[in-house]
Amino acid sequence: MKAKKIGILLLTVSVIMLISGTVTTFLVSLKKDRAETQARMVVVNDSFEEFNTSVSAFELERDTLYTESLGNLYYDTLTTDDEMLKNKFSNYESIVDTVVKNVKIMDGLCKDVYYPDSNVNSKCSNYKLIYEQVVNYFMEDVKLYNNTIKTFNEQQAAAGSTVALIEYKTTKKYVDYNKDGVFEGKEVE
């Protein structure tokens, strides 16, 4: 009878230790997960700031491009300004590339993740829309410039001139992250 009581006591102590060990492990794991989530939210905030900085650089470059070049684009000076304009578009595209690089970082941090901070979730949901605008503005600007080059070349050909300029080439494509079928107010063609 005494051995039976000792066995029951040992079994009870073992079950209690097993349960307390499991609960302790769960709580430690939960605390570790929370710390990792908090650290990741800091990374999301920092990455979004870098993304935001690159978008601001894009906006500044776009404003400069329009005020210094595209706003003063004339057919009679297009031949002399062509190389300078292509260099400006190349610099403009490199800023878009920086935005794309930051978007890929944000994709890795935000894809299929819901954070306990609504501010972080807002950043995770908004960066794609901002990226869509950036790329689509860039594409519209390239399209505007290339249409000008095309019209210039047609006028030169009609006048019998052999002068022909080359359009600006880019591998960028329109982005439609939100799948609304609209690219910056223009219906999908």
Global pTM value: 0.78
Per the structure block, which two tokens stand in for 119? 């501010």
> Radius of gyration over alpha carbons of the chain, in Å?
30
pLDDT in tens, 11-67: 888 888 888 888 887 777 777 777 787 888 899 999 999 999 999 999 999 999 999
∠ CA 152-154-158 to the nearest 5 degrees? 115
As a whole number of angstroms, the distance between CA 15 and CA 25 comes to 15
Q: Is the dihedral of CA 47, 88, 93, 147 positive or negative?
A: positive
pLDDT band at 186 (very low <50, low <70, confident <90, very high): very low
